[in-house]
A = this chain, B = another copy of it.
């Protein structure tokens, strides 16, 4: 495909995407296919000669779309939201064209530098303590990771390295393995310290946990994967109080801040804790500005693992990272902070609207405090009847929900997810749930 064909096909694809988004409400949110549906629909090996673009675009509707769960349908209330916005899509097109692999400053200076500044912008939106920002020339800073698990793993490995160094300094006779056997990681019953758990969006109290960690010299990592986006609104910022005690903090703008996947924001108070745990310097990554003092660590964090540092030399090229900060830049600028806040508030308001509908029906109960965009609810009664209700909901495929367990109770999660969900969708979803609940209760009596 040459450039002039790309101009044509690219514009056709823009229209395809726009049509998909415009018409998504009309598509069944959850697909009808059975496992293994796709393989018989396509050849069993790649073609020797090229197919045409027309063939491929036709196959999207024939082969792909029938097997897609439409996460951006306004009738999708499952899991948690995954971000989708036009500004982020435009930025991703640019990111793909530049196609740099920003594993060091020299590999593409704009990639490292924009990321550092965007992480400061975002940190300020959240009113993070200055210690986490780069601009103040302190020891902290932010970095984009691929996912909250990557961020948490990085934090854990950094914490472990730091603890091992401290203990080895105190007792040089101890081997690394002997120390590792004694290390303990504390967590709550949902997970690290978490603001907004996956199951029910509950919150740990950092003001209680934080001072203890600091006093005992324990690394405190705070994960607010979903909830973190809400902290850009002053009325929700109090949920982040105590972050000043944390060593590291992360949340996912790719969930609820309109920055398409992947973009997990992570801040640390002391960059050297990370760079100390994940350093490497092969010749082909050195560049003339490296030791200039003008350059802050580029946070080229990739995953290595303590017991295997005999392989350290190997963890090298994969430093690959896309120019993800472009998405933040486009989204923050095209929405503005006020636009982003309005988006969060709309979702929270819709979840409260759903909550009040549930509360008006005496057959149902709310199972956890509704703080942000998630409502945990169930029919008063057995787990079995609730499992039957969920089964009916997901078989009908008009809306899509997933369950969770809260203290042995089977609970339905209603998460406000889509960028385009409105009150009318929530109302329709509730009417539908009520009808199916009546069917379930009737069937139970029979």
- CB-contact partner of A333 in B51, B105, B402, under 8 A: B51
- CB-contact partner of A307 in B72, B180, B336, under 8 A: B180
Cβ-closest chain B residue relative to A290: B35
Asked if A357 is an interface residue, CB under 8 A from chain B, the answer is: no
Say how far A234's CB is from chain B's closest CB, in angstroms: 13
In contact, A283 and B404 (Cβ under 8 angstroms): yes
Asked if A295 is an interface residue, CB under 8 A from chain B, the answer is: yes
- CB-contact partner of A336 in B36, B50, B105, B285, under 8 A: B50
Give complex CA distance A307, B124 in Å.
35
Instruction: Kindly supply a per-residue 1/0 record for chain A positions 81-96, scoring 1 wherever the CB is within 8 Å of any chain B CB and 0 otherwise.
Output: 0111111111011101
| Residues in A392-413 with C-beta less than 8 Å from chain B | 394, 402-405, 410, 413
- CB-contact partner of A146 in B70, B96, B109, B146, under 8 A: B146
In contact, B260 and A94 (Cβ under 8 angstroms): no
In contact, B10 and A307 (Cβ under 8 angstroms): no
| Residues in A92-126 with C-beta less than 8 Å from chain B | 92-94, 96-101, 105-111, 113-114, 116-117, 120-122, 124-125
Task: Tell me the count of chain A residues lying within 8 A, CB to CB, of chain B.
Answer: 167
In contact, A35 and B187 (Cβ under 8 angstroms): no
In contact, B187 and A314 (Cβ under 8 angstroms): yes
In contact, A3 and B22 (Cβ under 8 angstroms): yes
Cβ-closest chain B residue relative to A101: B82
Instruction: Kindly supply a per-residue 1/0 record for chain A positions 12-52, scoring 1 wherever the CB is within 8 Å of any chain B CB and 0 otherwise.
Output: 01111110111000000001011111110010111111110
In contact, A101 and B89 (Cβ under 8 angstroms): no
In contact, A101 and B79 (Cβ under 8 angstroms): yes
- A305-B305, A402-B284 known; A318 and B149 CB under 8 Å? yes
In contact, A10 and B308 (Cβ under 8 angstroms): no
Asked if A156 is an interface residue, CB under 8 A from chain B, the answer is: yes
- CB-contact partner of A72 in B65, B99, B153, under 8 A: B99
In contact, B100 and A68 (Cβ under 8 angstroms): yes
In contact, A310 and B187 (Cβ under 8 angstroms): yes
In contact, B49 and A338 (Cβ under 8 angstroms): yes
Instruction: Kindly supply a per-residue 1/0 record for chain A positions 368-391, scoring 1 wherever the CB is within 8 Å of any chain B CB and 0 otherwise.
Output: 000000000000000000000001
Chain B residues near A289 (CB-CB < 8 A): 34-35
- A314-B192, A333-B47, A405-B283 known; A185 and B3 CB under 8 Å? no
In contact, A6 and B34 (Cβ under 8 angstroms): no
In contact, A17 and B94 (Cβ under 8 angstroms): yes
Chain B residues near A84 (CB-CB < 8 A): 96-97, 99
- A21-B3, A101-B79, A191-B311 known; A320 and B147 CB under 8 Å? yes
Chain B residues near A180 (CB-CB < 8 A): 177, 180, 307
Give complex CA distance A100, B390 in Å.
21
Give complex CA distance A101, B168 in Å.
42
Asked if A139 is an interface residue, CB under 8 A from chain B, the answer is: no
Can you list 16 A-B contacts with CB-CB less than 8 angstroms, sorted by A residue number?
A3-B86, A6-B14, A21-B97, A39-B116, A50-B339, A65-B110, A67-B111, A71-B99, A82-B100, A149-B319, A183-B307, A187-B310, A191-B314, A198-B316, A226-B317, A305-B305
In order of increasing CB-CB distance, the 9 nearest A-B pairs are A149-B318, A67-B110, A177-B181, A10-B14, A147-B318, A191-B314, A38-B113, A17-B97, A50-B336
